[in-house]
Amino acid sequence: DTAVSQTPKYLVTQMGNDKSIKCEQNLGHDTMYWYKQDSKKFLKIMFSYNNKELIINETVPNRFSPKSPDKAHLNLHINSLELGDSAVYFCASSQVSGSRDEQFFGPGTRLTVL
């Protein structure tokens, strides 16, 4: 059974387009996250949601907007895509507040902006 799933796995799109990445977790966790991993493998948190409430909102462009329709889902919408948005985006979840709780990562979505 997949614990944290993301779709699509690969996303290739043109600059200026709007795209979404979906994330679902079947672990019953309360907290979900989005991370960006750049070409140098640097992993940086973007957003954190706890029970559908935004907890962390790092300094990311407001073109990025997370949407949490329910506790098990946290989708990432990206408007007006730019070349610099190319990266691997990981969704993650944890049982409670993640700062001292294991985070379970999804398989990642490789976004390529042309």
Partner 1 sequence: QQQVKQSPQSLIVQKGGISIINCAYENTAFDYFPWYQQFPGKGPALLIAIRPDVSEKKEGRFTISFNKSAKQFSLHIMDSQPGDSATYFCAASIYWEDDKIIFGKGTRLHILP
CB of 113 to partner 1, least distance (A): 20
| E strand or H helix that includes residue 70 | strand 64-70
CB of 109 to partner 1, least distance (A): 10
CB of 50 to partner 1, least distance (A): 7
Instruction: Give the N- to C-terminal CA distance of the chain in Å, as an integer.
Output: 34
| C-beta of 81 vs 92, nearer to partner 1 | 92
Q: What DSSP character marks residue 74?
A: E
| C-beta of 25 vs 113, nearer to partner 1 | 25
25 within 8 A of 107, measured Cβ to Cβ: no
| C-beta of 41 vs 83, nearer to partner 1 | 41
For partner 1, the binding residues (CB under 8 A) are: 4, 31, 33, 40-45, 48, 50, 55-56, 58, 90, 92, 94, 97-100, 102-108
Query: Among candidates 17, 25, 18, which has minimal Cα distance to 1?
Result: 25
CA dist list (Å): 48 to 52, 58, 105: 9, 9, 13
| C-beta of 80 vs 97, nearer to partner 1 | 97
